[in-house]
Amino acid sequence: MSAPPEFLGWVARAEEDFTLARSALQRKRPLIYGATFHARQCVEKYLKALLVARGLAFPRTHDLTALSDLGLQGGITIPVEQDALDRLAAYAVQVRYPGEDPALDEAREALSVCGPHKVLLWVVTCYDNPER
């Protein structure tokens, strides 16, 4: 089955966000805010790629829970636990304001959730096996 351009576009953007998050953590002085933000963005875009692959419509939203729920309603097994999605969701806004700054270990955890070796395999598997 040939992947539609919109699917490939979401995957490419997700992988770029993963690369940015990983690069931010590999610096001598890690860029924690950037890492957590891009890790969160990565998961959002992988979720959207999966919805596109399954032909499921979604609104213009950045709500990870809403996107995950759409997938679940469409019969897709989401491999990211809800508590991990909730933690990632906070990084969309939290990192923009001083005060409740994420720690380095939180940034590493966020990166581990969105790692392409996990999520991309899941997206491709679900794309190739629509019954999943």
pLDDT for 35-67, tens place per residue?
999 999 999 998 998 899 888 999 999 999 999
Output 67-74 pairs: Cβ under 8 A, ≥24 positions apart. 71/47
Mean pLDDT, residues 76-99 taken together: 85
Q: How far apart are CA 30 and CA 36, in angstroms?
A: 11
Mean pLDDT, residues 71-92 taken together: 87
pLDDT band of residue 1 (cuts 50, 70, 90) is low
Domain ranges across the chain = 5-128
In order of 25, 40, 75, 101, 113, the CA distances from 105 in angstroms are 10, 15, 33, 12, 13
Domain 5-128 sits in CATH at 1.20.120.330
Predicted local confidence at residue 126, as pLDDT = 63
- Each residue of 28-38: pLDDT tens digit? 999 999 999 99
- Mapped onto helix, strand or coil, the DSSP state of residue 30 is coil
